[in-house]
Chains A and B, each alone.
Chain A
Amino acid sequence: METLEPLLSEHPFLKGLDPKHLQLITGCASNVRFDAGQIIFREGEEADQFYIIRNGKVTLQIYTPGRGSIIIDALTEGDILGWSWLIPPYQWRFDAVAGELTRAIALDGKCLRNKCESDHDLGYELLKRFASIVDSRLESTRLRLLDMYDSNP
C-alpha cells in the first residue's frame, strides 16, 4: 500500500522530524477530500483531528447573530488546519468550510495525543511546530485588529 510518509516528510511543518516520529505520525494519517461548501467541522464539536491542506481552500468562519457567518481566516495549500485537538477541552472554536474542492491529509489527533503523552520528545517537537503556527496567526490577527487600512499612514 502507498504510504503517506514521503508526502509528510516533505511538508515544511514536519520537515526534519526524527524518522521514528514521522513513522508514528504517518500511522495516524489518512487522505481526505472535501467538496466545495462541505463543512469540515463545526464550532463546539469534538476536535479529534487536524489537517494538512494539500490543495484547495478552507475558510474558518464564526457565526454572529444578525450578521451571519463571517470569514475570519482562509487557509490554502500547505497550511495547517486546527490545533484544538492539542488543547483541552479539545473542541473546535470555529466552523471550517471547504471554499472549493479541497484535498488534505487528516491526522488523528486523539491517536497523536496518546503518542505525545507516552513519547515526550515527539510531544515537544509537535508543540514547538504548532507554537510557531499559532505565533504567526496571532501576529496576523493583531495586525487585523489594528484596522490599519482605515487609519492614518
Chain B
Amino acid sequence: MTVTLEKLTKDIVPSQEMIPEYFRIIRTQKNTHDTFTIELEPPKNGFSFAPGQFNMLYMFGVGEVPISISGDPSDRNTLTHTIRAVGSVTRAMQKLKKGDFVGVRGPFGTHWPAEESKGNDIVIVAGGIGLAPLRPSIYHILSNREKYGKVVLLYGTRMPKDILYRKELEQWRARFDLEVLATVDRAASDWKGNVGVVTTLIPRSHFDPPNTVAMVCGPEIMMRFSVQDLLKRGVPVENIYVSMERNMKCGIGFCGHCQCGPTFICKDGPVYPYNAVKDIFIKREI
C-alpha cells in the first residue's frame, strides 16, 4: 500500500483549524491599568461558541496566544476578548485600535456546564482575570435565569483598581436574583467593600450545597483553595469545575505543547470536572 504525503498530512494536520481568519476590531476598551477588552467583527456568518471556550489570537509579526472568549454567547455578531497585558504578544495587543485586524483561530476547547446545570444552584468563583472566561456563562445563566436556583458570583482581585467589569458587576449586584460578593486582598481605608481572599466568601454566600454546581476560574492556587472550601460546604466533588491554563501552540491537540500528564489542555480542557485534574493540581513541576 502506498501512502501519499498529501494523505498523511491531511490525516495529521487539520489544516483549516491552523489558518487564522482576519477579524476587524470594532471597539476597544480599557478595563483596568493592565487589562483591556477588544470586540471583533466576524468576517462572515457570525461566530458561535460555548461559554468557557477560547480562541488563538494572532498578532501579526509578534505571535499567537490563547485567549478565552469573554462576550455574550447569544451575540453571534460580536466576538469579545478580555486580555491582561503580561508579555510580548499581549502587550502588543494592548496597542491595537478600532479598525485594526487580528488573526483568529477557534473556538477551541471544552466549555462550562452552564446549560447542563439547569435546575441547580450555581456558584461562580472568579479570581482576577479569571472572571473573563466565566462571563459568557454568567450571560447564559442570566438570560435563562428562571431555569436555575440560586445564583452566586464570588469575585476576588488584588486591589480595588484591578476589579474587572466594574459597571456590570454593580448592575448584577443590584439584581434581586443574583448574589454578588466581591473582595480584594488589600485596600486603602476609604474602600467600602470586603477585604480578604475570595475563598473567605464561600462560607458567607447562600446556596444549597448538595444541589450546587460550582465553576471556578483564576490562578491555580486560588482554585485549589476554593475547591477545598466548596467541598467543606458540602458541594459534591463531581459538581465542581475548574479551568486550567498552560502555554499553547497549536490549540488543537497536535503539538503536545499544552500536555499535562495524560491530558491535552487545549482539547480535553480548558474546562475540566475537578475530579479529572485534581492530581495535576497537587503534582509539582508539570
Contact = CB atoms under 8 A, between A and B. Distances in A.
Interface of A: 59, 61, 68-74, 76-78, 97, 99-100, 136, 139-140, 143-144, 146-153
A105 B247 CA distance: 52
Nearest to A148: B219
B196 A73 contact: yes
Given A146-B221, A149-B218, A140 B199 contact: yes
A100 B204 CA distance: 18
A141 to B, nearest CB: 9
Interface of B: 127-129, 156-158, 162, 183, 185-189, 191-197, 199-200, 204, 218-222, 225, 244-246
A49 B85 CA distance: 47
B279 to A, nearest CB: 17
27 contacts: A59-B189, A61-B189, A68-B188, A69-B189, A70-B188, A70-B189, A71-B191, A72-B195, A73-B196, A74-B183, A74-B193, A74-B195, A74-B196, A76-B194, A78-B204, A100-B192, A140-B200, A143-B197, A143-B199, A143-B222, A147-B185, A148-B218, A148-B221, A149-B129, A149-B157, A149-B162, A153-B244
Contacts of A78: 204
B195 A143 contact: no
A136 B202 CA distance: 13
Given A61-B189, A70-B189, A97-B189, A148 B195 contact: no
Given A74-B195, A76-B204, A149 B189 contact: no
A147 B157 CA distance: 10
B188 A143 contact: no
Given A73-B196, A140-B200, A151-B219, 6 more contacts: A70-B189, A71-B187, A71-B195, A149-B185, A149-B222, A153-B246
A140 B194 contact: no
A149 B156 CA distance: 9
B106 to A, nearest CB: 19
| A-B pairs with lowest CB-CB distance, top 9 | A149-B128, A69-B189, A74-B195, A153-B245, A148-B219, A149-B158, A143-B197, A144-B185, A71-B187
A110 to B, nearest CB: 29
A73 B184 CA distance: 9
A68 B192 CA distance: 16
Contacts of A149: 127-129, 156-158, 162, 185, 218-219, 222
A153 B220 contact: yes
Contacts of A71: 186-189, 191, 195
A74 B186 contact: no
A66 to B, nearest CB: 13
Contacts of A146: 221
B272 to A, nearest CB: 14
B153 to A, nearest CB: 17
Contacts of A69: 188-189
Nearest to A63: B189
Contacts of B127: 148-149
A47 B219 CA distance: 38
A105 B85 CA distance: 47
A139 B218 CA distance: 18
B15 to A, nearest CB: 30
A147 B219 CA distance: 10
A136 B229 CA distance: 11
Contacts of B220: 153
Contacts of B193: 74
